[in-house]
Amino acid sequence: MLGGRGAGQTPLGLPPTRWRRIRPPPNRDDVRYIYATFPIVEREEIAAHGTYLSRDLCLAWMNALAAGDPDADIQIPTKKPPAKPRKP
């Protein structure tokens, strides 16, 4: 038993089907927090694209869905940082 709950138990002891209906969807702060738990991915994406691309895409899709446009063409401006000069 993990955390005092058995299999199939939810945080409030409600049946899983009921919990799914009352649980609030993740908000933008939740998404930022979740993506912050992947620092290696963040470093690699910033190095490759100049931005944390997967987090920014997720937030852009959330904005599009909230605006009622699920078919929006999401464009995230990326800029590759300048290459570090190599030592001779």
The pLDDT, as a whole number, for residue 15 is 75
What whole-number distance in Å separates Cα of residue 62 and Cα of residue 53?
A: 14
Enter the pTM of the model: 0.65
Confidence of residue 2 (pLDDT cuts 50, 70, 90): very low
CA torsion angle for 35, 39, 44, 46 (degrees, to 10)? 60
pLDDT in tens, 35-59: 999 999 999 999 999 999 999 999 9
State pLDDT tens for residues 64-83: 999 999 899 998 888 865 66
